[in-house]
Chain A
Amino acid sequence: MDHRIGIAAFNSRIAVVSTCERTLTALERFLLPSLPRIALDMPGTAIELRILRKGDGFQLICGGRIEPARDFPALVSAAVRLLDEEIVRRLTSLTAVHAGAVELRGKALLLPGKSHAGKSALVAELLRRGAVYFSDEYALIDDRGRAHPYPRPLLLRNGGPEQVPVLPEECHARVGNLPVAVGWILALEYDPAASWRIAAIPQSEALLLLLQNTPHELREAPRIFPALGRAASGSGCYAGRRNGAPEAADQILRLVAG
């Protein structure tokens, strides 16, 4: 018998389905936990994530993709990533930017960067220093240029190749629940041998950086140009290098304090 969880995520209805109720219950707290749960008795579910037991591990099926997971932490990571892709693909009024995002002093700080750039570790350090959690992976920008929380769990590598799911509460942080204006855009390249060195960049160049980090194609969604332009227009914009996340977090807090 199938057990189900329904989640309303932006303009998507998500059904997470498994024959194992225990697995589903354990998984639920990691799946966009601050977003509303919904009944799935109506037709028209946009996204289905199906979880099967396979030997000692799991198999996930979502959007035509099949992924194995050898244990529960791997199941959480895979489920989060699969749902990310499907949700982002379906966004119509929000623009996703591949960026860590936190709220500081009432404004959003965006850390655009691809995977393996150390965004999650830096976001976690900022949360431990009092920032409000928006996302470790996607900032969602509306047509007014405001950032919305995308409250998935953080996926931290902790020095190894495997991602470990961590809830913001474990970093003593609260999750943002309202959109806020973007205050800072920092494109930081991780270099363990470097010391903190950043320089101001024009807001127009920051807009280009945001366009380089969005999964949306400008050709198909020209609305993202003015939306990201508005995000950049209220921001202090910087690019440079950073070393370890703790030191970079301290530097960011100094920058934000002005």
Chain B
Amino acid sequence: MKIQRISSADIAVEKLPDGSTAIFDAATKTVYSLNATAAAAWEACGDSATLAQIIASMQQSFNPAVTDEIAWEAVSQLQDKGLVSIATPYSGPTRRSALATAGALLAPLVLALTAAEQKAHAAIAISGIP
């Protein structure tokens, strides 16, 4: 199973000092927030990696306590947001079991703010009225 980061010249990445990462996709005008766990998974993906390679990389560069389930949950959230693609199906832990075992401190979290959502917020911010 190969996991690949989306490759695009339109991607701007802000690596933040607390380990989290913000990604701006200029093509879709969507901004993503990756907490430190999700950012470590994103980094570990490189151009292409197996889940085993991602787990090993996350354990080495981020936290030795990263488990298969935590790494899989991070990769799954990145895939849900279209930030990585998975070449073949994976018969690993279910999302539910992954979430159940991921410790609160290491739980990955990927958030997205689309252009339409940001525009709506901007309209409120200029009028000041929610």
Contacts and interface: CB of A to CB of B under 8 A. Distances in A.
B59 to A, nearest CB: 20
A219 B119 contact: yes
A60 B119 CA distance: 28
Nearest to B115: A219
Interface residues of A, number: 32
A219 B16 contact: no
B20 interface: yes
Contacts of A101: none
Interface string A216-235: 11110010011001001110
B125 A205 contact: no
Interface centre among A81, A85, A115, A204 (most CB of B within 10 A): A204
Nearest to B16: A203
Interface string A132-155: 000001000000000000000000
A204 B35 contact: yes
Contacts of A254: none
Contacts of A115: 128-130
**The 9 nearest A-B residue pairs measured at CB:** A202-B20, A215-B126, A115-B128, A204-B20, A229-B14, A204-B33, A203-B16, A215-B125, A204-B22
Interface of A: 81, 85, 88-89, 98, 114-116, 137, 202-205, 207-208, 211-219, 222, 225-226, 229, 232-234, 237
Interface of B: 12, 14, 16-22, 24, 26, 29, 31, 33-36, 39, 109, 111, 113, 115, 117-119, 121-122, 124-126, 128-130
